[in-house]
Amino acid sequence: MEEESSVKLHGMWASPYVLRAKLALNIKGIDFEYIEEDLANKSELVLQHNPVHKKVPVLVHNGLPIAESMIILEYIDETWSDPPHLLPKDPYLRAKHRFWAAYLQETMMILSKTMTNGGKPTEDEMKEYWKKMDMAEELIKAELFSNGCPSFQEAKPGYLDIVLYSFLGTYDVVEEFYGFKHITAERYPFLASWTKALSEVPQVKDATPSSVKVIEILHAMRKNYLQLKG
């Protein structure tokens, strides 16, 4: 008989990092208890489980805490080792998926740096952002999907899909909050159709927060920041 296992996820509903952990658990079909955190008043458990960064997500498996979304994805894949696998079995391909996931994360950080501080990305940041996006469009396709855009009719989304979606899945939020479209089918046909295919996967759809609510909370965070700044 399989040993009973306890899986708890501490999160905040609008967080793209928490979304990664939720997607991985949903895709793997792992039952978990979700604990919503108030980030302005974090629970003792989060502070205790993630004393270094004091951030969510934190996954707690049989009492053992794991922090940092990318590390949580790898932990889930290694611990629940039955298919679907989040990372490819082939080591070279696995390295490539990790490389591009880290690259997308860096690109996402250019925007999220300014997310809470009420500012807009600077011109230089925007230049860097578009350069990185152009590179992702061209090279991820050439290196990993030269046969066409990923399809999720049979295959389940994995590690790289999850990181991509946590960044680009909320495209309408970026559009409303920052006032520009960051993936359009004209400029980024590959990234746009990949993101769209992911958004239609039931496990992904179920975990995705409402854009309207995310936009509301971002505006509230921006207002709060500007008020505190005076």
Ligand X SMILES: N[C@@H](CCC(=O)N[C@@H](CS)C(=O)NCC(=O)O)C(=O)O
Q: What is the DSSP string of 127-151?
A: HHHHHHHHHHHHHHHHHH-TT-S--
DSSP 3-state of 74: helix
**Which of positions 4-23 make contact with ligand X (CB under 6 A)?**
12, 15, 17
| Residue 166 near ligand X by CB under 6 A | no
| Residue 170 near ligand X by CB under 6 A | no
| Gyration radius (Cα) of the chain, Å | 18
Cβ 171 to ligand X, closest distance in Å? 17
| Residue 69 near ligand X by CB under 6 A | yes
| Residue 55 near ligand X by CB under 6 A | yes
Q: Which stretch binds ligand X (CB under 6 A): 63-71, 77-85, 178-186, 217-225?
A: 63-71
Q: Which is nearer to ligand X, 57 or 137 (CB)?
A: 57
Residues 6+ apart with CB under 8 A from 119: none
Residues in binding contact with ligand X, number by CB under 6 A:
11
Cβ 17 to ligand X, closest distance in Å? 4
Q: Which stretch binds ligand X (CB under 6 A): 52-60, 154-162, 191-199, 203-211?
A: 52-60
Across-strand partners of 58? Answer: 10, 67
CA dihedral 169, 175, 180, 186 (to 10 degrees): 50
Q: Which stretch binds ligand X (CB under 6 A): 1-9, 50-58, 81-89, 137-145?
A: 50-58
- Helix or strand holding residue 46 (H, E): helix 44-49
| Residue 161 near ligand X by CB under 6 A | no
Across-strand partners of 7? Answer: 61
Residues 6+ apart with CB under 8 A from 121: 110, 111, 113, 114, 129, 178
| Interface positions with ligand X (CB under 6 A) | 12, 15, 17, 39, 54-57, 68-70
